[in-house]
Amino acid sequence: MTVRPPTLRDKRRYLVVRVDPPGTPVDQKELYYAIADAITALYGDVAAAVMIQAVVAAEGDYVFIRCRRGTERELATALSTITSLRDTRIAVRIIAASGTLESLRERIRAIPLPSLPEGENPDVLFDKKVFTPVYGNGQKIDVIEKGFKNTHRYFLISEDLEST
C-alpha cells in the first residue's frame, strides 16, 4: 500500500508522560493495554476508535503516547484513571503534549536525571523501623522496609528520617 500524501494523513498529537514511582519497569505492550482499557472503560469503543492511541516509545521513566489531534484532553483524562500496570501500582503524570516527538524529547532532556548517590546507600530509620532507600531526588526519598519479603514502597522526604 502506498503512503498517503501528508495532506491526506490524520493529524496526530504526542503526549509525554512520566510513570511513577520512578524505576518502575514499563513494558510498552502492557502499558498500551492499560491505556486502551482505561479509554474503553471511560469513553467506550467508539471514542477509543476515534482516538487511535498508541504507545510510541518508552525511554526510562518517560513514555510517548500518540493520539489523533483533538482527542488529547480525553486521552489525558483516561490516563489519570490508570492506577496499576499488571500488579504494580503506578501513576501516569502528564508532562507535555506536542505535535512532534522531537520537541517532547527536547523537553524531557531538560529535566535532570534523579537518582540515589553512587555507592553504598545506608539504611534509614523512620517510625522506629529500618528501611532501605530505593530512590532519591532532592528531598524526596522512597524506601522499602527492611525484612524478608517486604516490597511495599513508602514515600518520604529526608526530613522525615530519624537520626540513627
- Would you tell me which residues interact with other proteins (CB under 8 A)? 20-21, 41-42, 73, 76-77, 80-81, 83, 89-91, 93-94, 126-127, 139-140, 152-157, 159-160
Question: What is the strand order of the sheet 54-59 is part of?
Answer: 54-59, 62-68, 12-20, 91-98
CB of 159 to other proteins, least distance (A): 6
CB of 102 to other proteins, least distance (A): 24
Comparison of 102 and 113: residue with beta carbon closer to other proteins: 113
Q: Decide if 61 contacts 23 (C-beta within 8 A).
A: yes
CB of 79 to other proteins, least distance (A): 8
Comparison of 56 and 144: residue with beta carbon closer to other proteins: 144
Q: Which CB contacts under 8 angstroms, 24+ apart, belong to 28-34?
A: 28/55, 28/57, 28/58, 28/63, 29/55, 30/85, 30/86, 31/55, 31/58, 31/63, 31/85, 34/82, 34/84, 34/85
Comparison of 96 and 102: residue with beta carbon closer to other proteins: 96
Single-letter amino acid, residue 32: Y
CB of 34 to other proteins, least distance (A): 12
Return the closest-CA partner of residue 134 out of 11, 52, 16, 24: 24
Comparison of 6 and 138: residue with beta carbon closer to other proteins: 138
Comparison of 32 and 126: residue with beta carbon closer to other proteins: 126
CB of 107 to other proteins, least distance (A): 16
d(CA 114, CA 138): 8
